[in-house]
Each structure stands twice: as C-alpha cells, then as structure tokens.
A = this chain, B = another copy of it.
Amino acid sequence: MPNPRSTTRATRSTGAVTLQRVAEHAGVSIATASRVLHGGTRTVGEELRRKVEDAARDLGYVSNAPAQALARSSTSVVGLVVHDIADPYFAAIAAGAMRAAKRHRLMVMIAATFGDPELEIEYVRSLRAQRARAVLLAGSGVADPDLTARLAAELDAFRADGGRVSCIGERGVEPYVPLDHTGGAERAATELWQLGHRRIGVVAGPEGLVTVQRRLAGIRAAWSRLGGELPDRRVVFADFTRSGGREAALGLFAAEPGVTAVLALNDVMAAGVLAAVQDDLGRRVPEEVSVVGFDDVPFAVDLRPSLTTVRLPLEEAGERAVQLIADGASPARQAPLGVALVVRGSTGPVAG
C-alpha cells in the first residue's frame, strides 16, 4: 500500500489536509486534534498536544474556515459597506477599521455601493448569507422612509441570525459611532461669519444623504443664529466628487456672483470648488473668495491654497466601529468623536 489514500473520488488527492488527516498522523482522535488546533481551552495533555501540533506543521494543515463556520455557525469576517473605496473619506474609515480588525483577528470584507441604496441592502443580505460576524455601515443613509425601512428589516434579520451591526454616524441604527456633522458645520460657518463674510454659498453633496442634510442644517443653524441669510439659491447640490464640486461652484457663481465664501460639504468637492474659482473664474483664494471644506482628508493640506476644513477623525471612527462589534463591547454611550476646524490658507477676511 504505497498510497495511504483510500477513499474514492477525485478532489481530495493529497490536496486537502484535513483535521482528520492530522489526527491520524498524530495518532489521536479528530476531537483531540480539533481541541488543540482550534479550541481555546487547554484541556489536552501536553504529549498529545505536541504530537498534534507537530503533525499539523508537518502536513501543512490549514483549517477550513467554511467548515468551521458551518459547525459553529459563526465566522470571523466583518463586512464594511462603503460608497466608494476610492474616496479618501471611506478609505480612511476602512484603514481604521482594518487596523482594529487586525487586533481582533477579524477579516474585513468590503462592499462598495457607489451610492446606490439598493445595493447597500443587497450587500447586507449577502453578508448575511456569508454569516459575517458583523456589518459596518460606513456610508451615509438616504432620507427615504421606504429604503430606510427595508434596510432596517434586513439588518434585523442579520441580527436575528446572530450578527452584529454598527455604523459610522447616526442613521437610526444602534450602536453607532457619533460624528458631529452639525457641530462641525456650525463651527465652519461661524468662522466665515467672523471673518466678515455675509454672502456665502454652499456646495453640497447629494440632497438625499442625511450626512449632507446634517451638515447643511449646522450651517443654517449657525447662520441664522448669527443673523445671516442663506437663500436656497446659494445652496447647490451635486455629486460628492471633484467635478461635482467644480460644476456646482460654477453654477453658484453664475447665479450669485456676489458670494464671498463657499462652504463645500466635503474636501473632494472643495478641490473642485478651488479649481473652479481660481482656474475657471480667475478669482483669488482667499483674497477674493474664501473656501472651506469638510473632513480634512490627507490631501487637504496640499491643495492650492491649503484648505481650511472641518476635521473628522475618520480612521478613529473606523476603529471604533469595529470595536463596537468586537467582543462584548458594551453598547454604552460613546463619547462623540471630536471635530475641529482646521484653519489653513483658503480662508481670509472678506475683501473690504
């Protein structure tokens, strides 16, 4: 018998090294092998333990995650749902999440919805099928009752199957990592007011996103508190992209040439605004027009001029989101992550 293999079919030639084989090789039962290789509790004798470990190493054993998942009905993967991983906002969150995931020995599966709420629901469902241990919703939700309800239903089903859920920013899902969009926006608006600006414009992202609504609300709140006016025609909605920002800025100035400062609702859009104002419109920043961004993504400091923006601790938010779903994290109230206005070169006093 030159070949120890006995069973019939193909697939399992010498290929798959299973617990079974390790057990045989070590001369123990598969239960024992399982205990030393996977079981946390040390209830195996020193000698057998060594034998099993040696066998596993010799054979190059690698556990079969799907099999384990099936047997214990739980995996070590967490799903992260973002809009677009190429967007530095989400990339930062993902980086933080992955860092924390590593600490907790979790794998991160990323799904990009490209802004499609239907896809978000579909991905949660898919993650449920994967029996992911948790799903992290990183993107902003949309203010649509139907969509929200359907997502909630899907999340409930996910939880019913034993999964955990957490999200970045408040969106009606518990637990979540609080991000003070409103407060940050208020601060940015206030800064502009203090610089003497009275006629400001807002370059906003998609109108349906609750993040956009929150930031906008913060600006409006601060502005009216200060006694300013912000007519709707000075608020332009567009995609959360560079070109979205550029086009929105162009539209804004076409309609309201007197605007002295513009608040972009994220840094990527701000980059587009800067390009529009300086290159297309030929106005100087900040001498003629001030620009403020939101998020403080890494490249904000390198824009021309460097961008004044509201800093959001994105990486930390990502980390916290996985902490929330890792171990028995208490669903205790989270201290909101600090937002801060980072004043750089794109803002200045209103032209006298």
Contact = CB atoms under 8 A, between A and B. Distances in A.
B98 A85 contact: yes
Interface string A302-324: 11110000000001000000000
Interface in A84-100: 84-88, 91-92, 94-95, 98-99
Given A108-B109, A299-B271, A305-B304, A62 B15 contact: no
Nearest to A90: B91
Interface string A154-177: 000100111000000000000000
Contacts of A98: 85, 110-112
A201 B260 CA distance: 42
Interface in A276-301: 298-299, 301
Contacts of A108: 109-111
A286 to B, nearest CB: 14
Contacts of A338: none
Interface stretch (A42-50, A65-73, A207-215, A327-335): A65-73
Contacts of A99: 112
Contact of A131 (B14, B64, B110): B64
Contacts of A88: 86, 88, 91
Interface residues of A, number: 57
Given A16-B161, A85-B85, A62 B125 contact: yes
Centre residue among A64, A85, A162, A304 by max chain B CB count within 10 A: A85
A60 interface: yes
Given A69-B66, A129-B65, A60 B157 contact: yes
Contacts of A91: 85-88, 91
A77 to B, nearest CB: 7
Contacts of A131: 64-66
Contact of A299 (B70, B102, B125, B299): B299
A110 to B, nearest CB: 5
Contacts of A264: none
A20 interface: no
Contacts of A85: 85, 91, 94-95, 98
Given A109-B108, A303-B304, A298 B242 contact: yes
Contacts of A182: none
Contacts of A13: 160
A111 to B, nearest CB: 7
Interface of A: 11, 13-16, 60, 62-67, 69-70, 73, 75, 77, 84-88, 91-92, 94-95, 98-99, 102, 107-112, 125-126, 128-131, 157, 160-162, 242, 271, 274-275, 298-299, 301-305, 315
**Nearest 3 pairs between A and B by C-beta?**
A66-B69, A304-B304, A86-B95
Given A64-B131, A108-B110, 9 more contacts: A14-B160, A65-B66, A65-B131, A86-B95, A107-B109, A107-B130, A275-B301, A303-B304, A304-B304
25 contacts: A15-B162, A16-B73, A62-B125, A65-B66, A65-B129, A65-B131, A66-B67, A66-B75, A84-B95, A86-B91, A86-B95, A94-B110, A98-B110, A102-B112, A107-B126, A108-B111, A109-B110, A110-B110, A242-B298, A242-B302, A271-B302, A275-B302, A299-B299, A299-B302, A302-B304
